[in-house]
Amino acid sequence: MPKFITGQPVPNVRLGFIQDDQVRFVSAPSLFAGRRAIVIGVPGAFTPVCTHQHVPDFVRNADRLRASGYDLLVCIAPNDPFVLRMWSGNLDPDGKLRFLSDGNLDWTTALGLGSTERDLCLGQRSQRYMLNIEDGILGRLRVEAGILDFSCTRMEAVTELE
């Protein structure tokens, strides 16, 4: 299984989203080229920690992150793009974050951030993480000990990524 390596280019994978009621794709290298980004990875849309803590924390602080120099704020989830459209509309109606589907787990697998969550009936998922990307290059990564944990991926930890 590939692993996350700081200083390497982002994986050459596609991430999905809905536009004009159609599934569209963006390649990770083109998305992150020339951008300073914070990415939060979540185990699943509509799950309790993601919905009530992790994503709202970043939505609330999106303007502050942009003011500090991040021009792209992304939430990547292992759900299909249709689910992500509904979930993002509930949590972020003003579109402060970009929600992208890793429904095939290509991004998650390429970074070695997969997790099997059988006890929660979630199956194959992503770990909860936060990372920075500078001009398409993987930066610092923080990964929670478990998908129900929310400590090292809080918004306050962004400064520790720099």
Catalytic residues: 50
Q: How far apart are CA 145 and CA 92, in angstroms?
A: 26
- Closest alpha carbon to 70 in 42, 38, 96, 26: 38
CA distances from residue 56 to 10, 69, 80, 88, 125 in whole angstroms, order as listed: 25, 20, 20, 10, 20
* 3-class SS of residue 86: helix
